Amino acid sequence: MAKKNNGKVVNGSIFFTDKEEPESFSISNQFAEHLEFTLVKDRITVTKDDAYYALSLAVRDRMVRRWLRTQREYHIKDPKRVYYLSLEYLMGRLLGNALINLDYYEECRELLKKDGYNLEEIKEYEHDMGLGNGGLGRLAACYLDSMATLQLPAFGYGIRYEYGIFAQEIENGYQVEYADYWLKNGNPWDILRRSLQYRVKFYGRVEKKVYPDGTYYFDWVDTDDVLAVAYDVPVPGYKVKNVNNLRLWQAKAVSDFEFSEFNRGDYVEAVAKKNDSETISKVLYPNDTYVEGKFLRLKQQYFFVSATLQDIIRKFKINHDNWEDFPEKVCIQLNDTHPVVAIPELMRILIDQERLGWEKAWYITTRTFAYTNHTVVPEALEEWNEKIFGELLPRHLQIVYEINRRFLEDVKKNYSADEAVLEKLSIISSGPEKRVRMANLAIVGTFAVNGVAELHTHILKTRIFPDFNKIYPKKFLCVTNGITPRRWIRAANPELSKLITSKIGEEWVRDLSQLKQIENFVDDAAFRKKWREVKMHNRRLLIDYIKNENNIDVNPDSIFDVQVKRFHEYKRQLLNVLHVITLYNRIKDNPKIKMVPRTVIFGGKAAPAYYAAKMVIKLINSVADVVNNDPDVGDKLKVVFLKNYSVTLAEKIIPASDLSEQISVAGLEASGTGNMKFAANGALTIGTMDGANIEIREEVGEENIFIFGLLAEEVVELKAKGYNPRKYYESNPSLKRVIDMIASNYFNPKEPGIFNDMINGLMNVDYYCVFADYQSYIDTQDKVAQEFLNQEEWTKKSIYNVARIGKFSSDRAVSEYAKKIWNVKPVKLNNGNSNHD
């Protein structure tokens, strides 16, 4: 018997039941079944890793029906959908998060306990899914969580890199990189969609051809093709039935052999070529603020974009045959410029394949895409050498030229014909080496450009793209970043969550503004005591971790002063080190000094080729060696570098922190999201007026945050007048002493001279104003120590930080995107069983 099922004809109906989980689906049963039948293990051979794997499969099974049903419902209701395109997703571990979102954590823990398993322990066997560099990639992961929780018909797209962000080791104080083969024990979360494959073209040439009706068209021929195969990862919303989809593409050779070469007997060549095309999805680029212009990177971008657009268009065509409906049904959010080649790609499809005219194609394209900018650091603005671009994507280069020609014509007519203005606006830079400027292409080809915090958006409008802002005044807008409270409070800090829930119930997990209610308990001394106990509990867990990893004994009563993030000069980990050395000198001058004990914790990776950032890591480890082993110091001061910072490690560190270091030079940190995670876990911020720090201050109140340093405009002014760091050095004895110590190899007697470049850079240029902000930072740190002495007051401030952090939920951010940019609405899955089909 044939039954019609969503347009597909299948035999029989036994496979498709719409029931939620049948009773026989107990997690223990499924866990046991997966151990035996999927992993083929018994009581004797089973390992903890097997237990993790089998449990994850059992949990995944519980998501599958909701996942299918969600996709089916989106298909049937056919709402406008949003597609989030990102080259990076820093997902972290998925098991604990899935259990929390499915509201199944406690039950599962108890069931496992009966079988003699400890859930907390099993969770540790999951490999962190680190398919991203830093803020931008983690933001994408937080937004997936919120899009599912808000029940939005949203789809994430990315690349399934075989190697994620490198594993960082510290050898003799230096960062050393190792490959992160995260798939080595298999991945229970992603599902290969065997029938979903698209052909992606590269290279070749463009031929002008004529249709029978006499009109001409362009054909991209003689291409080298690669297949993109789909792997799907479920994204469960919190306590809703919706399970959204993250689709990751992996590259595969078109056929197992290039037949021509195979037939010529060139077997080895043919197989080697196969490997070649599969390198496209091999490895994540580990740079986050420096563009190298590598061919493989452009290949990755186009590979990703081509497969994704083919998939989006296939889905669109199931229900629609009129291209004018496309922007009504599809919104595509471009996460930075990395997927911006999607703009000429959609133009190419519409013009060359769908035979639309240029104007109509452009109308559709520019109403479909929106672009988020994540950085104003000039080295990170992507530009592609025109030759490279044209060799790999000859037809796209033509289209980009035509987009630019029409755009500049328009500008000349309606805005300015000034050559200098035109040069700044042009998508193609002039000069000896012509380059395609991806940010300019993004602004011209989209209907919305957003910054990720108020200050960042302001800088985009006034400093980075002022002419674009004049031409398209309505295009630029701000959506301040957010973080998901599920992972960053509920999962990472179970003790704090319990305490909060005991007072205000647990709605805060999906509506973070409700945290406001805990302000009512600020004056309750018993509550404050419990608050401190939670922090102490978390601190002790971190102390054990530090003892295990670094063999350092940490004073549990010290200030846990933490800076964890990517290493970059603009983030100024170096300023933090100068403070550490300043404290060290105070102790050396007076070993009996009474001071508030501190543990200064660092974590983060530097791009493998970023020499200056790597030397800061070396300096931290050198200073740590001296400070931690000096008997004069005792437990007044400790310096800890925790290697291989990741989402998983962040979840251990942040809940244990007292002080959050957000000390970038003002104007350069687009938003920061770590700042939000710390405040949400009750750490106080020491920070500059940069990125979202400004908005955090506005929310938590200026008495509950430590702000220091130059303002963004003051940095600009200082540089305009001619900044002379040497002046600060000469006139500040404490700063001079610190710098002289580093310069005279105090911390590195066995490797003299290694910090010379760093010192010269600071003394002569100090591009990131470390010297200019030094004194203000030190004074503010002294204030921090003073205030930490009064634990009752400190606790109040900590509570205020948590109570007032509601704005920074990614639920708020995502609903702003949905309303201001995407125009998509929730698709609520009712609780009963669907009988649509």
Binding residues for ligand 26V, rule: CB under 6 A, are 133-136, 139, 285, 287-291, 336, 374-375, 380, 452, 481, 669-673, 691
In angstroms, give the least distance from the CB of 375 to ligand 26V. 4
Among candidate residues 435, 486, 510, 565, the one labeled active-site is 565
Among candidate residues 571, 579, 605, 638, the one labeled active-site is 571
In angstroms, give the least distance from the CB of 360 to ligand 26V. 33
Three-state SS for 178-236 is ECCCCCCCCCCCCEEEEEEEEEEEECCEEEEEECCCCCEEEEEECCEEEEEEEEEEEEE
Given a contact cutoff of 8 angstroms between Cβ atoms, the answer to whether 648 and 92 are in contact is yes
Q: Is 605 a catalytic residue?
A: no
Among candidate residues 374, 486, 487, 568, the one labeled active-site is 374
Residue 6 CB neighbour total at 10 angstroms: 13
Q: Kindly state the DSSP code that residue 835 receives in the 8-state scheme.
A: -
Q: Cα dihedral angle (789, 792, 793, 794), rounded to 10 degrees?
A: 60
Q: Which residue type does 241 have?
A: K
Given a contact cutoff of 8 angstroms between Cβ atoms, the answer to whether 132 and 90 are in contact is yes
Measured from the CB atom, the residue of 180 and 669 that comes closer to ligand 26V is: 669
In angstroms, give the least distance from the CB of 768 to ligand 26V. 14
In angstroms, give the least distance from the CB of 451 to ligand 26V. 9
In angstroms, give the least distance from the CB of 689 to ligand 26V. 14
Burial profile 36-48: b = 16 or more Cβ within 10 angstroms, e = fewer = eeebebeeeeeee
Among candidate residues 289, 480, 484, 673, the one labeled active-site is 673
- DSSP, residue by residue, 591-657: TT-----EEEEEE----TT-HHHHHHHHHHHHHHHHHHT-TTTTTSEEEEEESS--HHHHHHHGGG-
In angstroms, give the least distance from the CB of 381 to ligand 26V. 8
Given a contact cutoff of 8 angstroms between Cβ atoms, the answer to whether 178 and 278 are in contact is no
Q: Which of 645, 648, 644, 628 lies closest to 636 in space, CA to CA? A: 628
Residue 767: strand, helix, or coil:
coil
Measured from the CB atom, the residue of 143 and 771 that comes closer to ligand 26V is: 143
Measured from the CB atom, the residue of 140 and 489 that comes closer to ligand 26V is: 140
Which residue has its beta carbon closest to ligand 26V? 135
Measured from the CB atom, the residue of 206 and 612 that comes closer to ligand 26V is: 612
In angstroms, give the least distance from the CB of 111 to ligand 26V. 38
Residues 6+ apart with CB under 8 A from 319: 78, 329
In angstroms, give the least distance from the CB of 441 to ligand 26V. 15
Q: What φ, ψ does residue 591 adopt, rounded to 5°?
A: -60, -15
Q: Around 92, how many Cα atoms within 13 Å sit in the side-chain half-sphere?
A: 28
Q: What φ, ψ does residue 249 adopt, rounded to 5°?
A: -95, 140
Q: Kindly state the DSSP code that residue 568 receives in the 8-state scheme.
A: -
Given a contact cutoff of 8 angstroms between Cβ atoms, the answer to whether 331 and 81 are in contact is yes
Residue 349 burial (10 A CB sphere; 0-12, 13-18, 19+):
middle
CA–CA gap between residue 748 and residue 622 (Å, rounded): 6
Q: Is 62 a catalytic residue?
A: no
In angstroms, give the least distance from the CB of 177 to ligand 26V. 15
Q: Is 673 a catalytic residue?
A: yes
Measured from the CB atom, the residue of 376 and 428 that comes closer to ligand 26V is: 376
Residue 240: strand, helix, or coil:
coil
Q: Is 721 a catalytic residue?
A: no
Q: How far is CA 763 from CA 33, 636, 766, in A?
A: 65, 30, 6
Measured from the CB atom, the residue of 344 and 674 that comes closer to ligand 26V is: 674
Measured from the CB atom, the residue of 245 and 673 that comes closer to ligand 26V is: 673
Q: Is 677 a catalytic residue?
A: yes
Measured from the CB atom, the residue of 230 and 453 that comes closer to ligand 26V is: 453
Catalytic machinery residues: 374, 565-566, 571, 673, 677
